[in-house]
Chains A and B, each alone.
Chain A
Amino acid sequence: MDAIILQILNGLDKGSAYALIALGLTLIFGTLGVVNFAHGALFMIGAFCAVTLQKILSASYTVIDPSQTDFLGRPLEVSKPYLEAWLGPDLGGGIIEWSVPLAILFAIPVMLILGYVMERGLIKHFYRRPHADQILVTFGLAIVLQEVIKHFFGANPIPTPAPPAFAGSLDFGVWLGFDPNAIIYPYWRTVYFLFSLVIIGAVFSFLQFTTFGMVVRAGMADRETVGLLGINIDRRFTIMFGIAAAVAGIAGVMYTPINSPNYHMGMDFLVLSFVVVVVGGMGSLPGAVLAGFLLGIVESFASMNEVKNILPGIDQIIIYLIAIAILLTRPRGLMGRKGVMEE
C-alpha cells in the first residue's frame, strides 16, 4: 500500500510538469491552431531564466587570499558576491539562496516578451500553412533556441538548488500511520505540485471569469463570428500565446531544483507533452491537465520493480502504449472535442 501511495506522489510532480507544458500547448493550439514544437524549448528557456537570475544575484568581485593558492600555486582569487558585501552575508546570501522562487518574477516578463516576439515574428506567417509546415518551423526554432542556450551556458547541467528552507523531504508515511521512511517525499516536489495546481487554477479562472477570457473562449469556439462582431481576436490570441509561453517558462523555473537544467531539457519533455495533449484530446484544456497527471502517475507505476520484473522495459514505453490504447478506443482522446483536427 505504501509503495502505491509513493508512486502516486511521484507521478504527481512529473504529471505537474507534463500538465503545465501540455496546458500551454493546448492553449496555443486551441487559439491559434498552431502545433508548437518549440514549447519544450520555452520550458527550457524558463529554467535558464532561473540560472540567469542566480548568476546575476551571485555576481562577484574577487579578492586575493595570500594564505591559499590556486591550482598553479598562485595566490588564490576568492569570489565575494556583491550582494553579500552590500547587504551583509545574511540578507545578501539569503536573497541568492532564494533565487529560484524570485526568478518567477524575472521569467514572467521575459517569457511574455519572448512569446510575443515569437508569435509576431515567426509563427503568424504560418497560420494558413499546413500543420506539417508549422511543426517543421517550430521544431527548427526549438533547435535554434537550444543551441543559443548551449553557446552561452555550455552543455553541462547547472546546479540550481531550492532555498535551504525546502531542502530534505517530508515523511508522509508517519502522517498516514505507516512506519517512518515508508513514504518520503521531497519538500520541493510538494511545492512544485501545489504550484502547478495554482497556475492551472489561475489559467482556468482567467479564461472562465474575465471578459478577456470569455472573448478568447468565444474565439476558440468560432473565430469568424467573434471577428464579425468587431473584436480584434488576433491581438487577444497573440496575448494568449505570450501567456502560454509564460506558463511553460515558470514551470521551467520551478523545475530547476528538481533536475539541474541543461540545454536539452525541453526536448526531453516535448514529445511526452505532445502525447499528453493527444491523450487528453486536442484542444481540450481540462483534458490536457487530466492526461498530464494520469500519464505521470502511470509512468511512475511502470518504474516499480514489481512491474519491471514482469514486463522488463515497460517504463520506457508505457506512455506510448496508453496513447495507442486510448486512440483506438477514443480517437478524440479523453476529453477531445468533435471537429478538432478532423476537417
Chain B
Amino acid sequence: MSKLHFTRRRLIGTGAMAGAGLAMPTIFTGASWAQSQGGFTNAPTGGTVTLGFNVPQTGPYADEGKDELLAQQLAVEHLNGQGDGGCLNTFSSKALKGNGILGKKVQFVTGDTQTKSDAARAAAKSMIEKDGAVMINGGSSSGVAVAVQGLCQEAGIIFMAGLTHSNDTTGKDKKANGFRHFFNAYMSGAALAPVLANTYGKDRRAYHLTADYTWGWTQQESMVKATEAVGWETVNTVLTPLAATDFSSYIAPVLNSGADVLVLNHYGGNMVNSLTNAVQFGLLDKQVNGKDFAIVVPLYSELMANGAGENIKGVLGSMNWNWQLQDEGTKAFVKSFGEKYGRPPSNSAQTCYAQVLLYADAVERAGTFNPCGVGEALEGFEFDGLGNGKTLYRADDHQCFKDVLVVRGNQNPTNPYDTLEIVEVTPVEQVTYAPDHPMFAGGELGQCNPGA
C-alpha cells in the first residue's frame, strides 16, 4: 500500500490543473476567451463593419425579399447618418448616434435565399466566410429561418430573423445566437380567436386546410387550440402539399362537411390560390348551419393581399405590423421608406428594418461586436419607438413580445395600399405565453457561440 505525500506546492499545482481542465469547455467557448483571442468570428478590424442581408431575391417570394432589402438598405443609411434618421429619432434607446456602429461605417452584402433551406444556408455561409459578415438578417420562410439560424449558431454569428412565423423558430429549434422580432403562430391564434368569436359567434365549426411543413403544422395547432378554447369545434384538418397550385379538390368537400368556417393555414402563393379557389366555389355566399360561411387567413402579408385581389374583402387575419398604425415609430419609418421608394413598407420590411437597428443598438450598448456580448444586450431588452409599441426581447427564448394586429380585407380600398384594415390591436398580455409552453417545448437555447 503506497502512501500519498501531498506537499503544499504539489497540491496547488494539481488543483490549478484540475480547475483549468474543468473550466476549459466554458473558457474556450465563452465570450471572455474569444475576446481575449481577438475575438470571435469576423471581428471587424478596419473602419467598416459588414452586415449580411439574406433575402429571397429569386423564386416566389422575390417581391417580398425585395421589400426587405429596401428596408435593410434604409436601416444602413440611417445607421450611417444619412437620410432623415427614420426610427433612430423615435427609438427609446439612444445608443445609436448615426455614426455607424461603434464608430465603424456600416456596409452590407446580400445573399439570395431563393426560399430554399439549402440555398439560404449556402448564401449565408458565403457571406460569413467570404465577405466577413458579422450578422445575418432577413428571410421570408420559417424553413429557411430555422436552417440559417442553425448555421449561424455553428459559425458564431448573430442571426436576426426576418419574416418567420412558425412556433419552432423560437420553440424547439431556438438557438442562443438567433433572435426573432416577428410574431408567431401561437400569437396569431391568441389574438384572432376572441375577435373571431365576437364576429362569428362561439358556436362555429371550423375546417382547416394546412400547408404541409413546419409553419403550417404549428399554425394549425395554434389556431385549433385557440378557437376550441372559445367554443368552436374542429370538423377536420387537411394537409395540402406545399407545391399545390389548385386547391379545388381540397375545397370542394368543405361545404359538405358541416363546417361553417374555413381556416386557410397557407402563406404566399398557396394562400392566394386557396383563397381564390374558395371564393370561386362561392363559399362566402353560402349559408351553413343557418350561419353565413366565413373564411379566415391567420397570417396576412400585404403582397399576398395584393395577389388575392378582391377575394380578401372581409376576410380576417393577423399581422406583425401595418403601415396604417399611428404611433411615432411607425410614422417615422413609413415617412422614410415612403419618401425614398414611393410606397408604404410591408410588415416583412418593417421587421427587417427593426432587427438591423436592434442589432446595432445592442452592439453599441454592449460595446462589442462579440455575439455573446450582443446576445446579452438583447436578452431581456425592453424598448419602444420602432413601430410595435412597448416590446420585450425575452431572454428565455429570444422571442419579441409586443402587441399583435388583427386585420381584415378592406371592403372599400381607396388605393392599392389600403387593401387591409386594422380591426384590433391585441395587447401583448393576451398573446404572451410561458417559456415552457407545450407548443414551444422540445428545444434548448444552449450557449452562445462566438465562433472563431
Which A residues have a C-beta under 8 Å from some C-beta of B? 2-3, 6-7, 9-11, 13-14, 68, 70-72, 76, 78, 150, 154-159, 161, 168-169, 181-182, 184-186, 188-189, 257-260, 262, 264-265, 268, 299-300, 303-305, 308, 315-316
Contacts and interface: CB of A to CB of B under 8 A. Distances in A.
A169 B282 contact: yes
A10 B335 contact: no
Contacts of B415: 70-71, 76, 78
Given A71-B334, A315-B241, A262 B60 contact: yes
Contact of A303 (B250, B339, B414): B250
Contacts of B241: 315-316
A258 B275 CA distance: 11
A22 B153 CA distance: 48
In the A-B complex, list the 10 residue pairs whose CB atoms are closest, starting with the nearest.
A159-B309, A303-B249, A155-B62, A169-B282, A157-B307, A186-B280, A300-B249, A71-B344, A168-B282, A156-B63
A182 B254 CA distance: 10
A13 B286 CA distance: 22
Given A155-B63, A157-B272, A264-B60, A258 B307 contact: no
24 contacts: A6-B256, A10-B248, A14-B246, A70-B415, A70-B417, A71-B338, A71-B415, A72-B335, A76-B415, A154-B62, A155-B63, A156-B63, A156-B303, A157-B272, A159-B308, A184-B281, A186-B281, A186-B282, A189-B280, A258-B276, A259-B277, A262-B307, A299-B249, A305-B238
B281 A76 contact: no
Nearest to B417: A71
B233 interface: no
B103 interface: no
B414 A305 contact: no
B253 interface: yes
Interface of B: 58-63, 236, 238-239, 241, 243, 245-246, 248-250, 252-253, 255-256, 269, 272-273, 276-277, 280-282, 285-286, 288, 303, 306-311, 323-324, 334-335, 338-339, 343-344, 414-415, 417
A320 to B, nearest CB: 13
A157 B308 CA distance: 8
A289 B287 CA distance: 38
B6 to A, nearest CB: 67
Contacts of B256: 2-3, 6, 181-182
Nearest to B416: A79
Contacts of A299: 249
B236 A305 contact: yes
A86 to B, nearest CB: 23
Contacts of B255: 181-182, 184
B414 A184 contact: no
Contacts of B60: 155, 262, 264
Given A155-B59, A300-B248, 16 more contacts: A6-B252, A71-B343, A154-B62, A159-B310, A161-B310, A181-B255, A182-B256, A186-B280, A189-B248, A259-B276, A260-B273, A264-B60, A300-B249, A303-B249, A304-B249, A308-B239
A76 B414 contact: yes
A168 B285 contact: yes
Highest count of chain A CB atoms <10 Å: which of B62, B246, B250, B311: B246
A155 B63 CA distance: 6
Nearest to A305: B238
Contact of B63 (A68, A154, A169, A268): A154
A157 B256 CA distance: 30
A315 B249 CA distance: 10
Contact of B282 (A7, A184, A300): A184
A181 B286 contact: yes
B307 A72 contact: no
A156 B307 contact: yes
Nearest to B56: A155
Given A168-B285, A169-B280, A6 B253 contact: yes
A299 B246 CA distance: 11
Highest count of chain B CB atoms <10 Å: which of A10, A303, A305: A303
Contacts of B414: 68, 76, 78
A181 B269 contact: no
Contact of A308 (B238, B243, B344): B238
Contacts of A188: 280
B400 to A, nearest CB: 25
B272 A7 contact: no
A156 B63 CA distance: 6
A268 B248 contact: no
B338 A72 contact: yes
A7 B252 contact: yes
Nearest to B284: A168
Contacts of B282: 168-169, 184, 186
A150 B276 CA distance: 21
Nearest to A168: B282
Nearest to B282: A169
B308 A259 contact: no
Given A161-B310, A260-B272, A304 B253 contact: yes
Highest count of chain B CB atoms <10 Å: which of A3, A154, A159: A159
A137 to B, nearest CB: 22
A70 B277 CA distance: 32
